[in-house]
Structure 1
Amino acid sequence: MFALHKRRIKRKPRTSKEFIIALTLIVLAICIALTASLMSNRGASQAKPKAVIIDGLLHYPNETFVKEATSLLNSTGFEVDYIGGEKVTVDLYRRLPSLGYRIIILRVHCGPLVETLPNGTIVPGEDAILFTAEAYSPNKYRIYQRGQLARAVITGRPNELYFAVPPWFFDECAEGRFDDSIVILDSCYGFYSTSMAEAFIRRGAKVFIGWDGEVQAKHTDYAVLVLLKYLLIDRLTVDQAVKKVMDEVGPDPYHHSVMLFYPSSAGDYRLERLKR
């Protein structure tokens, strides 16, 4: 005899609509997140490099220089910020390495650091200081230790006192690091010694360009515009550009100071490498 068995048919479990909807939403969310991430990375990679003109050269305004320098930088792919007047402060110097500027033009007063003895004798030091446009007050910035700031006076204006920063301010008080920045000191005494240049290099700058003595404002402004042209338009190396400036513009006609750069190892550096 044969026994008859009923074949049991296994039914597939039903997939609920709720599960399908939830799965669809999860996949959609993942796609949106991936797309946003890709767009963000693409935007970051296309961000323009930044340059800044810090204009604290008191009593020597030059709007033509600012416009022409900005135009040169813009035309070669840089986004340019302008910081002038009372915004040139101790706090600006403190934050400067962290602000992400690839080209920094310091159109500020710079002079030798001197010590005045109790009997009034002035003893010149070996370092230079960068002026702010911030009026000096003995009760301000007490958070800084003695010697981390200086009191500065502009030649011919003995009653105008301003805060200034010595080279070691960038070592001891600044925050962040320069990102292989090109620093151009559009003013006097950048190379009174190499201490100011060395301070910027220690903080991450690639090269420091300035003058070895006193220079007239109109002369240095013109020389820096020519320098930017050679660096940005003609794409010369730092060494080639500085030499061409000295050939074309020449030393200061009155003070005979010359343009230099530091360190010498940066002589073959080209500014086009910054545009990444």
Structure 2
Amino acid sequence: MFALHKRRIKRKPRTSKEFIIALTLIVLAICIALTASLMSNRGASQAKPKAVIIDGLLHYPNETFVKEATSLLNSTGFEVDYIGGEKVTVDLYRRLPSLGYRIIILRVHCGPLVETLPNGTIVPGEDAILFTAEAYSPNKYRIYQRGQLARAVITGRPNELYFAVPPWFFDECAEGKFDDSIVILDSCYGFYSTSMAEAFIRRGAKVFIGWDGEVQAKHTDYAVLVLLKYLLIDRLTVDQAVKKVMDEVGPDPYHHSVMLFYPSSAGDYRLERLKR
């Protein structure tokens, strides 16, 4: 008979190639994850703040204003979008709070909201409306045509009807929130009452700047350029900048309207210095 002896087989420890490869892969994965995270954070921190010029004054073009305003904004670290002409629509106003703009220049018509009675009598209201450059059609935007939109006509052009938005459009129909935005209404009647300014503030804007009455396009364009200089280059507070504009540019020489801002608590607001 033979006795069977079990022979112990010594296993090689896993500290050789397999362990080294596994450890290398783990370290490599960690390095890739850290690099991706750092790159993501760096990209986010270096992203330029955005500004927009919304230009719906179809009959009062001013390329010089657009170029100079864009240059001022670019030189102080802003990426600038220009939205003009027929792209100034109801849908643009609806999406505007969600688009991430820190400075919004609204070069659009604005006027008092009035009601026309069946007998033709015109009854002035207490609110102002922002015009689009989108031709009015009773069959379009039916979902909003239960008081959220208005029909607008430009003085001297009675046959041209456009969609317009009242203050409560931003409360009831807009999406998203403004990013502590400075909103500059480069047009008439921004402060026909404070209702339009209040609507923007409720939606997340930091401050609303505009005129308390009718103003000529060339006057407000120049005043807004001076305002941008004081806000962006000299880094004055909102209150200081608006006062300096009124000292330097003055009220509209024909209509005597003046530039105002809302709310008063934003008077001490100053744009932070941007890294370029």
- Distance in 1 (CA, whole Å) between partners of 2:4 and 2:56 is 104
- Distance in 2 (CA, whole Å) between partners of 1:171 and 1:45 is 31
- Displacement, 1:58? 1.9
Q: 1:212-251 CA deviation, whole Å, 9 max, x = no partner?
A: 0000000000000000011111111111111111111000
How many residue pairs are counted as aligned between the two chains? 276
TM-score, structure 2 length as denominator? 0.94
- Displacement, 1:26? 2.7
Q: 1:188-229 CA deviation, whole Å, 9 max, x = no partner?
A: 000000000000000000000000000000000000000001
Give the 3 Å change call, closer, same or farther, for CA 75–14 of structure 1 in structure 2.
closer
Contact 1:109 1:130 in 2 (8 A): yes
* DSSP 3-state at the match of 1:274: coil
* DSSP 3-state at the match of 2:37: helix
Q: 1:48-95 CA deviation, whole Å, 9 max, x = no partner?
A: 111000000120000000000000001111111100011100000000
Contact 2:77 2:274 in 1 (8 A): no
- Displacement, 1:20? 3.1
Give the 3 Å change call, closer, same or farther, for CA 123–19 of structure 1 in structure 2.
same
- Displacement, 1:273? 6.0
Which is worse superposed, 71-80 or 10-19? 10-19
TM-score, structure 1 length as denominator? 0.94
- Displacement, 1:5? 17
- Displacement, 1:17? 3.1
Give the 3 Å change call, closer, same or farther, for CA 8–211 of structure 1 in structure 2.
same
- Distance in 2 (CA, whole Å) between partners of 1:222 and 1:162 is 26
- Distance in 1 (CA, whole Å) between partners of 2:6 and 2:107 is 97
Q: 1:144-192 CA deviation, whole Å, 9 max, x = no partner?
A: 2511000100000011000000000000000000011000000000000
**Identity percentage over the alignment?**
100
Gaps of 5+ in 2: none
Give the 3 Å change call, closer, same or farther, for CA 131–2 of structure 1 in structure 2.
closer
Superposition pairs of residues 79-98 of structure 1, within 5 angstroms:
79-98=79-98
Contact 1:238 1:268 in 2 (8 A): yes
Which is worse superposed, 142-151 or 183-192? 142-151
Give the 3 Å change call, closer, same or farther, for CA 274–117 of structure 1 in structure 2.
farther
- Distance in 2 (CA, whole Å) between partners of 1:83 and 1:2 is 97
Give the 3 Å change call, closer, same or farther, for CA 6–22 of structure 1 in structure 2.
closer
Contact 2:201 2:207 in 1 (8 A): yes
> Cα RMSD (Å) of the superposition?
3.4
- Distance in 1 (CA, whole Å) between partners of 2:214 and 2:274 is 30
Which is worse superposed, 233-242 or 21-30? 21-30
- Displacement, 1:24? 1.7
Contact 1:51 1:78 in 2 (8 A): yes
Report what 2:176 is aligned to: 176
Q: 1:112-134 CA deviation, whole Å, 9 max, x = no partner?
A: 00000001110000000000000
Contact 1:232 1:272 in 2 (8 A): no
* DSSP 3-state at the match of 1:220: helix
